[in-house]
Structure 1
Amino acid sequence: MTTMVESPVALRHGRDLVSPELFERLVEFCADEYGLERGVADRVMDQAVAFLWVVGTTRATDMAPSKTVDPGWHTFMLHSQEYEEWCHKQFGYYVHHAPNSKVRTRGLMVDVVGRIKVHGFDVDERLWGTAADCNQPACCSDGPCC
């Protein structure tokens, strides 16, 4: 009898969807603009780019970033030329930001995280408010403790 050992599938990362130089510029800007530690800004940008890729490729209009990941989208958009070029190269159209922070719920964040995972991306659930050790109500959506 032969036993097959499955090779682990490498997860995708948002950072790999842009050039390393652009990613570094975005991280530095995000850290400076939003007062984040560099390591946190790195994770925020990675998740924001992965989120945007899923939104753009699926043309999803019902997805929203967590409050913690949203600054990554803002950062990318503020680099308007690079953001516009990236959108057109990846999707053939510009992904607009239509703020809908009023609908951020734990359920929505779980759904968004699930969609990002389906597309093969590594998800840092602490940034989405879906970490298993989240304590409601303080962490019911995207609170700082998650």
Structure 2
Amino acid sequence: MATAVRLRDPRTCVIPEVWEGEVQLIMRDHGMDHETAERTFGQTIAYLVTSTERSDVHMGPAPRVDFGVHSFVLDSINYTAFCNAVAGHYIHHVPHLPQQKGGEAPSLGETVRAIKAAGFAVNHDLWNADEADCSQCHAGCTDSPVGGK
């Protein structure tokens, strides 16, 4: 018998003032409406929390979720406080470059599955994935500017 996973609310991971501030930054910097910016920040939090809990999974954000990651990282005081609260240390953001040697790009499929397993809802529109094996490196995504699979 399967056990239901209780959904976690990403809003509980930051104080309301930080949530709304980050949503406003995403709206300002990426031209999103409030609802889309909230979904983006929610997926950003789900991704960051899961990445700290599942260090065994090679995770990476989809391009649209990465907008939220970048906005949050640039708000360094709030981002550092969040990192210390959820991970006990700074969560570094290291972008993957396709030309780098010595490592594969993170799999969006694995990332999405890990986030779901951690109990967060996944917004598939923002991840450009239906649990497909895809990465943000534009080396094979369906939205790749260099031609996808």
TM-score range, shorter chain: 0.7 to 0.9
Cα distance in 2 between the residues matched to 1:25 and 1:142: 32
Cα distance in 2 between the residues matched to 1:33 and 1:12: 27
Cα distance in 2 between the residues matched to 1:101 and 1:47: 22
Contact 2:57–2:111 (8 Å) recurs in 1: no
Change (3 A) 1:43 1:24: same
**Amino acid of the residue matched to residue 78 of structure 1?**
L
What does residue 94 of structure 1 align with?
A: 90
Normalising by the residue count of structure 1, what TM-score does the alignment of the two structures yield?
0.78
Normalising by the residue count of structure 2, what TM-score does the alignment of the two structures yield?
0.76
Unaligned runs of 5+ in 2: 99-103, 132-139, 145-149
The alpha carbon displacement at 1:104 in A equals: 5.6
Higher-Rg member (1/2): 1
Quick check: 42-51 or 88-97, which moved more? Answer: 88-97
What does residue 45 of structure 2 align with?
A: 49
What does residue 113 of structure 2 align with?
A: 114
Indicate whether 1:38 and 2:37 are aligned: no
What does residue 59 of structure 1 align with?
A: 55
Where 1:68 maps in the other structure, the secondary structure is helix
Give 1:1-146 correspondences, 5 Å limit. 10-59=6-55, 62-100=58-96, 102=98, 108-131=107-130, 141=141, 143=143
Q: Which runs of 4+ in 1 moved over 3 A?
A: 6-10, 101-105, 140-144
Alignment RMSD? 2.6
Cα-to-partner distance string for 1:77-131 (whole Å, 9 max, x where unaligned):
11101111111121111011100153667xx111100000010001101111114
Cα distance in 1 between the residues matched to 2:57 and 2:113: 16
